[in-house]
Amino acid sequence: MPGEESRKLYEEALNLFPGGVNSPIRAAVKPYPFYVSRAEGPYLYTVDGERLIDYVLAYGPMFLGHRHPRVLEAVKEQLERGWAYGTPAELEIKLAKKILKYYHQGGMVRFVNSGTEATMAAIRLARGYTGRKYIVKFNGCYHGAHDAVLVGAGSAAAEYGVPSSLGVPEEVAKLTLIARFNDVESVEKIMKKHGDQVAAIIVEPVAGNAGVIPPKPGFLKGLRELADQYGALLIMDEVITGFRLGLGGAQEYYGVRGDITTLGKIVGGGFPIGVVAGPREIMENFTPSGKVFNAGTFNAHPVTMAAGLATIEVLETGEPYRVAREAASKLAKTVEDLISRYGIKATVNYVENMFQVFFVDGEVASPEDAARSNREMYNELHQELLSRGVFIAPSQMEAIFTSAAHTAEVVEETITALEDAFKRLREQ
């Protein structure tokens, strides 16, 4: 549990940062966030002298585990050459080629600095390309912290009760039309009314910001067909799933392609990144070849490029996917066994190397289902695990992730913690 040293730092932080943190979800760790002094493999080490098994993984990016030697080496090598040039360097070409190989062969890339920037740029691109103003977004999906997508948003926006943020003008929010995840008909209804003015449908192929909710068979295909029918673009927001569900992300995994892909998290190897990728015909609308403005002092930052490239090279061995999958499937199964052993009303959603448990009766096939779950019970599970040295997402609205560093031994230790934690939940 967060100890005395963390408490002192947090008290200081409360006077410096709104809510004591620089991204709201971090304050969901109660009674206050623990402060980390270093990280290695599957572990975070706190200033309180604790070692935690990490299933948050910086909210997704650390798919190889912390401080992976290959990534460290690539970053050090780049640092020796300097770290921000304001002019191109070769590594950006190498990383772009890797990304395009798996996502948009023959296409183009624009590097930005976060998933937020990527979806903001992608939406502007779709609007510029189509000359249309509306976007369709799914209730409970999260695409970052900019105006167009802070309408019916998931993740921390849902956790803190602001799915539609103050400060987003009504006129702007009105341009975001809200459909229901896993419900093609809800999209069809919107398209029938506004289809000729819809620039893009933006979707998380696996909803990962309302827990973990896989797409039902036919859902993504239905979106593809509706986008084509009405001449709108389909933006696959793979900030979480990109390079996580496999090298080709959810689009390869589910066999449905978007017109534009947004990436972030893993593709930067743990350094700030966002990517917009798509076919040349669409991408060339970005400045300077086109008239859709996008720019950034830190775009294609050399250190990020080095870390991202090293990460993908390790991923290409296939081994990280095998280890992460084995860990998540074993843990998800353990949680299922425990809820059935103790007769707890709950359900587990699992995809490859991400899962989540929802304390609710019945299936969770939509963010609306997820919203019905007992969040207090989830928070208790989080606390019980934290007190046993295991860090899972502090919010039901996030995913539990595994990595290449979650070996069988680490998983065994986690299972012991899970067994004790569920026993405690049962006793309460």
Ligand X SMILES: NCC(=O)CCC(=O)O
Ligand Y SMILES: Cc1ncc(COP(=O)(O)O)c(C=O)c1O
Enumerate binding residues for ligand Y (CB under 6 A).
114-116, 119, 142-144, 204, 208-209, 237, 239-240, 264
Residue number with CB closer to ligand X (28 or 306): 28
Residue number with CB closer to ligand Y (230 or 253): 253
Asked if 88 and 234 touch (Cβ cutoff 8 Å), the reply is: no
Which three-class secondary structure state does DSSP give residue 109?
strand
Asked if 50 and 33 touch (Cβ cutoff 8 Å), the reply is: no
Query: Looking at 142, 230, 350, 378, which residue is catalytic?
Result: 142
Asked if 186 and 148 touch (Cβ cutoff 8 Å), the reply is: no
Peptide bond into 288 cis (omega under 30): yes
- In whole angstroms, the minimum distance from the beta carbon of 17 to ligand Y comes to 17
Q: How many CB atoms lie within 10 A of CB 49?
A: 9
Structure tokens at 14: 């409360």
Residue number with CB closer to ligand Y (149 or 227): 149
Tell whether the torsion through CA atoms of 338, 341, 342 and 345 is positive or negative: positive
353 binds, among ligand X, ligand Y, none (CB under 5 to 8 A by kind): none
143 binds, among ligand Y, ligand X, none (CB under 5 to 8 A by kind): ligand Y
Residue number with CB closer to ligand X (23 or 229): 23
364 binds, among ligand Y, ligand X, none (CB under 5 to 8 A by kind): none
Residue number with CB closer to ligand X (397 or 415): 397
Query: Looking at 54, 237, 259, 369, which residue is catalytic?
Result: 237
Give yes or no: 378 in active site.
no
First-to-final CA distance of the chain = 20
- In whole angstroms, the minimum distance from the beta carbon of 167 to ligand X comes to 17
CA distance 257 to 226: 13
Residue number with CB closer to ligand X (191 or 400): 400
* Backbone dihedral angles phi then psi of residue 292, each to the nearest 5 degrees: -95, 115
CA distance 310 to 340: 42
Give yes or no: 254 in active site.
no
398 binds, among ligand X, ligand Y, none (CB under 5 to 8 A by kind): ligand X
Query: Looking at 265, 321, 350, 378, which residue is catalytic?
Result: 265
Give yes or no: 230 in active site.
no
Applying CB under 6 A, the residues found at the interface with ligand X are: 23, 25, 59-60, 142, 155-156, 209, 398
CB-count burial class (<10 Å; 0-12, 13-18, 19+) for 281: exposed
- In whole angstroms, the minimum distance from the beta carbon of 128 to ligand Y comes to 20
- In whole angstroms, the minimum distance from the beta carbon of 208 to ligand X comes to 6
Asked if 316 and 246 touch (Cβ cutoff 8 Å), the reply is: no
- In whole angstroms, the minimum distance from the beta carbon of 410 to ligand Y comes to 24
Tell whether the torsion through CA atoms of 81, 100, 207 and 168 is positive or negative: positive
- In whole angstroms, the minimum distance from the beta carbon of 273 to ligand X comes to 13
Q: Which positions are annotated as active-site residues?
A: 142, 237, 265
